Amino acid sequence: MTHAADTPRPTRFAPSPPLLGTIAAPGDKSISHRAIILAGLAIGTSRISGLLDSGDVAATIGAMRAMGARIEQDGDDWVVQGVGVGGLMQPASALDMGNSGTSARLLMGLVASHAISATFIGDASLSRRPMARVAGPLADMGAAIDVAPGTRLPLSVRGIAPAIPLAYRLPIASAQVKSALLLAGLNTPGATRVIEPVATRDHSERMLAAFGADIAVETDGDGVRTIILTGRRDLSPCDLTVPGDISSAAFPIVAALLVPESRVTVTGVGINPRRAGLLRVLGEMGGDIVLANQRDVGGEPVADITASHSALHGTDIAADLASDMIDEFPILFVAASMAHGHTVARGLGELRHKEADRLGAMAAALAACGASARIDGDDMIIDGSGGAPLPGGATIAANHDHRIAMSMAVAGLVSRDGVTIDDMASVATSFPSFVPLIERLQAGA
């Protein structure tokens, strides 16, 4: 692999030798955001180990510092002195979210129930992403929200204290909207209720409980979850370890399944049931994936995952699985393009609203590399190569999307003529060590 020294950083991923070795995944991005925010609201000092060191998490750290939390790095750990629920300070300038939609949406919720105002800005990619799903219910709680046309950044939130407790039924499954409302509920008197017809990742519920929030979850006979948070309760400081991010581990795992003679172990990976859909699907496709040393870390289930080269076969992925692996579909599409037979992934409209239109961008990228991929409504349909290398030879536009960049990098490893990614800079938002890690595995590290 070679890449230019300056940004943009085009990088060519050539056909790979076997990938061999044991590595650790970077810290879970979703959990890292929530750990910094809740530690910043606790009364006292929290210590966080395993925090993801990336551009996205840096945006959350910068915003919480701007609103009064003291956050310092101590070796590999982060030490956070919180301000207490209700204690956020008025930021002196706009909060720059960079490329982090998670930072923007969660912090909008946090600000909404405090008597402060904040302006949220972001890069060109983030400024194209809609914020209406969060802005609407926060306005119902009493926050005043001034948005750019299309309900996009730049965006200003003028919080209100006390806010109005809300009972909100999610029209579309979204862990970010749920989490934003729960964060708003922390400084809201009474009970804030979020109703989930389709369960989403529950990192927020687990971590709120760990910090001592008054939170309960009820599930009815139809599987509908209601999360009930009673606000204006102090949070206690917490020492916690962030598990490895399964969304990042997905790339070396799939690469090991596809590159002949490979065997890779990724240690300390979070396997939260609402995040592990990719592992279930890859197993159904015939992937040789073994989970070992299963344990609990910081309230989250964790395991060491070993993936070995496998002959995959196509599968049919139901729409109700989408929320359990929404971030992993780009790399799953690459796996499907190398499988024997036909894969259909259904109900993927949410992929159109990520950093890029991941549905359209991945269909175009795979087609440019010689794979058979097409879209039918919100479904992706892929006819696999039967294990034969993809032709490759293309230069792929990553569209400032880290998951597109890394997914097509893996496609390059199993291609005949290699694949060039036009710019790998976006990978710094979630997996800064991706390229050197792949090089280590190629060297048998």
Catalytic residue list contains 123: no
| 158 labelled ligand-binding | no
Which of 143, 172, 176 has the alpha carbon at shortest distance from 157? 143
DSSP summary character for residue 357 = -
| 401 labelled ligand-binding | no
Which single residue is written with the structure tokens 């190569």? 385
| 29 labelled ligand-binding | yes
Read off φ and ψ for residue 383, nearest 5 degrees. Answer: -100, 115
Measure the CA angle with vertex 344, ends 339 and 348; round to 5°: 125
Contact 380, 363 (CB under 8 A): yes
CB count in 10 Å sphere of residue 218: 11
CB count in 10 Å sphere of residue 400: 20
| 178 labelled ligand-binding | no
Which single residue is written with the structure tokens 């710019």? 423
| 274 labelled ligand-binding | no
| Rounded CA separation 370/411 (Å) | 11
* 107: Cα within 13 Å, side-chain hemisphere: 34
| 174 labelled ligand-binding | yes
| 403 labelled ligand-binding | yes
| Rounded CA separation 43/29 (Å) | 24
Instruction: Select which of 28, 202, 327, 423 is catalytic.
Output: 327
| 76 labelled ligand-binding | no
Structural tokens at position 100: 């982090």
| Rounded CA separation 286/311 (Å) | 7
Contact 177, 196 (CB under 8 A): no
DSSP summary character for residue 198 = S
CB count in 10 Å sphere of residue 24: 16
| Rounded CA separation 202/205 (Å) | 5
User: How many angstroms from the chain centroid is the CA of residue 211?
Assistant: 22
| 129 labelled ligand-binding | yes
Structural tokens at position 190: 């009474």
| Rounded CA separation 436/154 (Å) | 35
Residue at 95: amino acid letter? L
Contact 2, 11 (CB under 8 A): yes
| Rounded CA separation 373/13 (Å) | 21
Q: Which residues are annotated as a binding site for phosphoenolpyruvate?
A: 29, 101, 129, 176, 358, 403
Q: Which residues are annotated as a binding site for 3-phosphoshikimate?
A: 29-30, 34, 174, 176, 327, 354
**Catalytic positions, written as ranges:** 327
